[in-house]
């Protein structure tokens, strides 16, 4: 079997929720050994809490006896990790963390900036115990500046970032994404930051403290809008594009039936006009993106008149036959059944925690042809690997582990009374 | 200056979409030397993007000719990484074939829908990727227009995925001494990002779907809007206490954890009078001070004058361009304590061709 690209890298992960967990899952997919360190008393908020909560992230079959192992949120971003618990507020917990850090290449966290130092495990301490170590910090607003101590989550970062301002129907209200998308974007950037720092260490031997501002990583996605004389008057952009006209999603016959259509050039435009059979749009002046831009509302109305007379599946097939970029708007169930996702083996069936049935999940984000990443472990349950990891890496014996467990310094599930 | 993280890494970029283009931008930001390779005839307005191509070098080479192919081969032998969009690799993927002859080269090739498989030949765009990925189905409001993320974010996500592929392969090369080909599909990358929603559809039949409102909890202040997240019980209790709001006993069940999202209209009637006369900045900071997550609704133009982002020097100026002054968002990560970005301009088309070819010739003479 080929080596994994990051097989030689060990990461101690203190992040919670989506952004950090996703960053570490991406690195775990490339082969890094990721040890997710959770609190003994308060599980990762994406697990919920020890008792079932009135929030909607449990499976339809119910939260069961271990609801904190049944959240689809947590279980979607914590594969390929060892899950351990450590009470970092206890001297013993902190000492074990630093002993683990002595063997680690990377530590990751997404607390607000002062927390790590207050726990006594800031970058200065980590550097002392492990020269060359890399620390990734992922606070909402970055480590410096006037908002740095403020809490932030995807739902507040998105309105701050400019994304919500642009997201919405033209003329309509600002919106937030259907998922806390800025978290995922921060996760991508977190993985990128760690890999960049690892490359630097390979070349110079030096460690780095790298940081993500979730706010800035989201705004970085919007760069194209800043190259616009009309920046100050930008509103909701819908699905329109700065270059392609038309570019939109159109209602079809039936409930929640929609088709996406893009016209990349005049060839696509000619093919679309022929398919629509619309004499007005066939006028030669529309073979120019500028002219189409000025008539965009009229063009979108003409397309809608055509799409609403057929289902999305029919519209997609007719347009593709004509060579026009088109796609029925797919639900997640459709994605799971997608011929492309399945023919290429991208979706893989993964065991789920706490006796839930196996489920299809996306594969590794980039396909390295010689040393591909892979999925080795299902999402870790709370504290599932505490004993295995502390025994393997720190050499703790059963008696010591039993004692730590009994005193609530390590362990799984609700702490002892 | 840019970050020093990737100093010494040399990259050739052959791009015609923001997939390889954004990957190249990230590499420039992190300190790599990125040479954008173009074919003669590709010049003209729009050849380079102020957003993506700042700080890159420009080399023009017709690698479809015999002499050009020979130069390309030597050029690829002199760099660490090739990142490309499959659309501009040539009709028979000649560029990929040339890359495959250089064993130490990392070649990351990006596509919209996949390098193989039933969708590989479908005509595509950023919006088509977003529609196929499930993203549009969950963005927007129930029964109303499904939405992609604004701009070309499916392809930008692919650009970040390509960056991850570049670095994973470069780090692996540090161990093995060997380069390799890496494939990135925007569709796969976006579905990877949406993993929580993919798993939700297995855990909860029929989910996820667009909600009746996609406006979150935005509430009006005197000069704009603020988003306040009250889903955590502690946050809700803190706000009621702070603003002296007491729902009637009869109404209390509506405002229990998990119920509040269904009663935003009523919550607005509580908060509206308190906030109507106050500035959004003031409300945002008051909420954050008591650890309630809140955010101002900001336009892209608002961001340019935000005091926090100014203090962090989060925007970089475009230099050397005609027309109005423009600044662009800096990179998504930085080395702590450093200013990551750099004021820089877009190269003139082919500006670095002569010097690069001269350096190749010098190397050849040495060899």
Please give the ipTM for the structure prediction: 0.98
Classify each residue of A364-378 as buried b or exposed e, where b means 16 or more C-beta atoms within 10 Å of its C-beta: bbbbbebbbbebebb
- Is A145 in Cβ contact with B312 (below 8 Å)? yes
Under DSSP, is residue B255 helix (H, G, I), strand (E, B) or coil?
helix
pLDDT tens, position by position, B224-238: 999 999 988 899 999
- Is B136 in Cβ contact with A258 (below 8 Å)? yes
- Those residues whose C-beta lies under 8 Å from the C-beta of residue B265, and which sit 6 or more positions away, are none
Distance in Å, alpha carbon of A130 to nearest chain B alpha carbon: 18
The residue ranges of DSSP E strands in A14-68, in sequence order, are: 33-38
pLDDT tens, position by position, A317-339: 999 999 999 999 999 999 999 99
Least confident of A221-225, B308-312, B362-366: B362-366
Q: Where are the alpha helices (DSSP H) in chain B?
A: 18-29, 66-77, 94-100, 126-133, 135-138, 153-176, 186-193, 195-203, 233-243, 264-275, 280-289, 300-303, 307-311, 353-366
Find residue A251's DSSP bridge partners. A258
> What is the per-residue pLDDT for B297?
97
Residues on chain B touching A356 (C-beta within 8 angstroms): 203
A404: pLDDT confidence band, cut at 50, 70 and 90? Answer: very high
- Is A234 in Cβ contact with B329 (below 8 Å)? no
- Percent with pLDDT over 90 in chain A: 91
Tell me the CATH number for domain A247-329.
3.30.1540.10
Q: Is B253 on the interface with A (CB under 8 A)?
A: no
Distance in Å, alpha carbon of A316 to nearest chain B alpha carbon: 11
- Domain residue limits, chain A: 10-221+344-406, 247-329
B215: pLDDT confidence band, cut at 50, 70 and 90? Answer: confident
pLDDT tens, position by position, A194-236: 999 999 999 999 999 999 999 999 999 999 999 977 898 999 9
Q: Do domains B10-198+327-366 and B218-302 have the same CATH topology?
A: no
pLDDT higher than threshold 70 for residue A54: no
- Is A340 in Cβ contact with B187 (below 8 Å)? yes
Under DSSP, is residue A109 helix (H, G, I), strand (E, B) or coil?
strand
Under DSSP, is residue B318 helix (H, G, I), strand (E, B) or coil?
strand
Distance in Å, alpha carbon of A114 to nearest chain B alpha carbon: 14
pLDDT higher than threshold 80 for residue A75: yes
- Average pLDDT, integer, range B87-116: 96
- Is B168 in Cβ contact with A366 (below 8 Å)? yes
In chain A, what's the furthest Cα-to-Cα distance?
84
- Average pLDDT, integer, range B307-316: 96
Q: Is B366 on the interface with A (CB under 8 A)?
A: no
Element (H, E) at A135: strand A134-137
- Tell me how far apart the alpha carbons of residues B295 and B308 are, in angstroms, rounded to a whole number: 13
- Percent with pLDDT over 70 in chain B: 99
| Residues B157 and B189: beta-carbon distance below 8 Å | yes
Which residues 24-53 in chain B show a CB within 8 A of chain A? 25-26, 30, 49-52
pLDDT tens, position by position, B72-81: 999 999 999 9
> What is the per-residue pLDDT for B2?
66
Q: Is B337 on the interface with A (CB under 8 A)?
A: yes
- Is A244 in Cβ contact with B133 (below 8 Å)? no
DSSP string spanning A77-107? S-TTEEEEE--TTSHHHHHHHHHHHTT-SEE
pLDDT higher than threshold 80 for residue B94: yes
pLDDT higher than threshold 60 for residue B1: no
Find residue B295's DSSP bridge partners. B227
> What is the per-residue pLDDT for B78?
96
CATH class of B10-198+327-366: alpha beta
- Tell me how far apart the alpha carbons of residues B112 and B161 are, in angstroms, rounded to a whole number: 12
How many beta-carbon pairs under 8 angstroms link A with B?
A: 485
Residues on chain A touching B4 (C-beta within 8 angstroms): 200
Mean residue pLDDT of chain A comes to 95
Distance in Å, alpha carbon of A180 to nearest chain B alpha carbon: 10
pLDDT higher than threshold 90 for residue B217: no
- Tell me how far apart the alpha carbons of residues A26 and A76 are, in angstroms, rounded to a whole number: 12
> Quick one: how far is CA B84 from the chain centroid?
17
> Quick one: how far is CA A212 from the chain centroid?
14
Going B70 to B159 to A351 to A404, the CA torsion angle's sign is: positive
pLDDT tens, position by position, B137-189: 999 999 999 999 999 999 999 999 999 999 999 999 999 999 999 999 999 99
pLDDT higher than threshold 70 for residue B108: yes
What's the fold here for domain A10-221+344-406?
Answer: Rossmann fold (3.40.50)
Going A334 to A339 to A340 to A345, the CA torsion angle's sign is: positive
pLDDT tens, position by position, A149-196: 999 888 899 999 999 999 999 999 999 999 999 999 999 999 999 999
B351: pLDDT confidence band, cut at 50, 70 and 90? Answer: very high
Q: Is B256 on the interface with A (CB under 8 A)?
A: yes
Mean residue pLDDT of chain B comes to 94
pLDDT tens, position by position, B236-275: 999 999 999 998 999 888 898 888 988 888 899 999 999 9
Question: Which CATH number fits the domain B218-302, given the four candidates 1.10.238, 3.40.50, 3.40.1130, 3.30.1540?
Answer: 3.30.1540
Three-state SS letters, A279-335: CCCCCHHHCCHHHHHHCHHHHHHHHHHHHCCCCHHHHHHHHHHCCCCEEECCCHHHH
Element (H, E) at A194: helix A181-204
- Is B125 in Cβ contact with A264 (below 8 Å)? yes
Distance in Å, alpha carbon of B105 to nearest chain A alpha carbon: 12
pLDDT tens, position by position, A258-313: 999 999 999 999 999 999 999 899 999 999 999 999 999 999 999 999 999 999 99
Of B194, B203, B328, the CB nearest to A223: B328
Give the residue from B104, B126, B160, B286 with the most A CB atoms within 10 Å of its CB, the best one to mutate. Answer: B160
- Is A368 in Cβ contact with B295 (below 8 Å)? no
- Those residues whose C-beta lies under 8 Å from the C-beta of residue B121, and which sit 6 or more positions away, are none
pLDDT higher than threshold 70 for residue B69: yes
> What is the per-residue pLDDT for B338?
87
Give the full edge-to-edge strand order of the sheet including B333-335: A81-85, A33-38, A10-13, A106-109, A134-137, A209-212, B333-335
Q: Do domains A10-221+344-406 and A247-329 have the same CATH topology?
A: no
Residues on chain A touching B299 (C-beta within 8 angstroms): 162, 165, 232, 234
Pairing of strands B81-85, A347-350: unpaired
| Residues B195 and B244: beta-carbon distance below 8 Å | no
pLDDT higher than threshold 90 for residue B286: yes
- Tell me how far apart the alpha carbons of residues B228 and B219 are, in angstroms, rounded to a whole number: 8
A116: pLDDT confidence band, cut at 50, 70 and 90? Answer: very high
Element (H, E) at A118: helix A115-118
Residues on chain A touching B295 (C-beta within 8 angstroms): 152, 155-160
Distance in Å, alpha carbon of B314 to nearest chain A alpha carbon: 7
Closest CA to A218 of B159, B330, B12, B353: B330
- Is B153 in Cβ contact with A221 (below 8 Å)? yes
């Amino acid at each position: 079997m080929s080596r994994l690209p990051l097989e030689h890298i060990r990461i101690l992960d203190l992040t919670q929720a989506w952004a950090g967990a996703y960053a570490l899952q991406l690195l775990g997919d490339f082969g890094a050994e990721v040890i997710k360190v959770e609190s003994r008393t308060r599980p990762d908020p994406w697990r919920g809490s020890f008792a079932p909560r009135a929030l909607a992230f449990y499976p339809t079959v119910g939260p069961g006896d271990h609801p904190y192992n049944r959240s689809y949120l947590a279980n979607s971003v914590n594969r390929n990790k060892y899950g351990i618990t450590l009470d970092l507020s206890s001297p013993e917990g902190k000492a074990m963390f630093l002993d683990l850090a002595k063997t680690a290449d990377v530590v990751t966290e997404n607390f607000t900036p002062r927390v790590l130092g207050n726990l006594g495990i800031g970058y200065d301490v980590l550097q002392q115990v492990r020269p060359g170590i890399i620390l990734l910090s992922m606070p909402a607003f970055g480590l410096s500046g006037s908002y740095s101590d403020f809490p932030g989550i995807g739902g507040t970062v998105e309105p701050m970032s400019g994304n919500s301002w642009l997201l919405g129907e033209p003329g309509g209200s600002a919106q937030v994404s259907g998922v806390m998308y800025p978290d995922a974007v921060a996760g991508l950037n977190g993985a990128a930051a760690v890999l960049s720092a690892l490359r630097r260490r390979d070349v110079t031997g030096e460690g780095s403290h790298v940081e993500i501002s979730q706010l800035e990583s989201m705004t970085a996605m919007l760069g194209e809008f800043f190259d616009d004389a009309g920046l100050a008057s930008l509103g909701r952009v819908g699905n329109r594009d700065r270059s392609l006209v038309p570019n939109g999603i159109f209602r079809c016959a039936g409930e929640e039936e929609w088709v996406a259509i893009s016209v990349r050039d005049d060839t696509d435009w000619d093919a679309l006009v022929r398919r629509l059979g619309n004499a007005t749009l066939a006028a030669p002046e529309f073979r120019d993106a500028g002219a189409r831009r000025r008539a965009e509302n009229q063009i979108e109305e003409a397309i809608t008149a055509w799409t609403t007379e057929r289902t999305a599946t029919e519209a997609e097939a007719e347009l593709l036959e004509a060579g026009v970029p088109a796609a029925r708007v797919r639900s997640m169930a459709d994605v799971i059944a997608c011929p492309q996702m399945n023919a290429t083996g991208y979706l893989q069936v993964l065991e789920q925690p706490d006796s839930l049935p196996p489920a299809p999940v996306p594969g590794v984000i980039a396909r390295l042809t010689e040393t591909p990443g892979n999925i080795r472990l299902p999402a870790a349950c709370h504290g599932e690997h505490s004993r295995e990891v502390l025994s393997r890496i720190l050499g703790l014996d059963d008696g010591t582990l039993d004692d730590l467990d009994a005193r609530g310094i390590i362990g799984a599930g609700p702490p002892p009374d | 200056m840019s970050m020093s993280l990737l100093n010494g890494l040399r990259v050739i970029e052959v791009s015609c979409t923001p997939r390889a283009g954004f990957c190249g931008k990230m590499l420039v930001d992190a300190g790599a030397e990125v040479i954008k390779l173009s074919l003669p005839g590709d010049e003209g307005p729009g050849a380079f993007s102020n957003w993506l191509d700042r700080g890159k070098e420009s080399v023009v080479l017709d690698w479809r000719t015999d002499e050009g192919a020979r130069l390309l081969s030597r050029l690829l032998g002199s760099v660490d990484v090739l990142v490309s969009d499959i659309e501009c690799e040539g009709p028979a993927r000649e560029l990929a074939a040339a890359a495959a002859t250089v064993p130490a080269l990392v070649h990351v090739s990006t596509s919209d829908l996949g390098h193989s498989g039933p969708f590989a030949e479908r005509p595509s765009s950023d919006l088509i990727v977003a529609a196929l990925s499930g993203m549009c189905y969950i963005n927007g409001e129930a029964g109303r227009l499904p939405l992609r993320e604004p701009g070309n974010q499916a392809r930008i996500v692919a650009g970040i995925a390509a960056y991850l592929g570049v670095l994973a392969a470069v780090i692996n090369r540090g161990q093995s001494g060997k380069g390799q080909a890496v494939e990135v599909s925007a569709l796969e990358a976006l579905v990877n990002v949406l993993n929580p929603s993919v798993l939700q559809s297995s855990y909860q039949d029929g989910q996820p779907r667009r909600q009746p409102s996609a406006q979150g909890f935005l509430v009006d202040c005197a000069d704009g809007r603020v988003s306040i997240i009250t889903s955590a019980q502690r946050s809700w209790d803190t706000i009621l206490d702070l603003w002296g709001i007491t729902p009637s006993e009869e109404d209390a069940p509506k405002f229990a954890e998990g119920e509040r999202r269904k009663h935003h209209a009523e919550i607005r009637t509580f908060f509206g009078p308190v906030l109507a006369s106050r500035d959004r900045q003031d409300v945002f900071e008051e909420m954050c001070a008591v650890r309630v997550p809140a955010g101002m609704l900001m336009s892209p133009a608002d961001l340019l004058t935000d005091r926090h982002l100014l203090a962090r020097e989060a925007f970089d100026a475009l230099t050397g361009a005609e027309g109005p002054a423009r600044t662009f968002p800096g990179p998504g990560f930085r080395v702590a304590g450093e200013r990551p970005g750099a004021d820089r301009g877009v190269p003139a088309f082919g500006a670095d061709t002569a010097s690069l070819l001269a350096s190749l010739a010098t190397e050849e003479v040495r060899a």
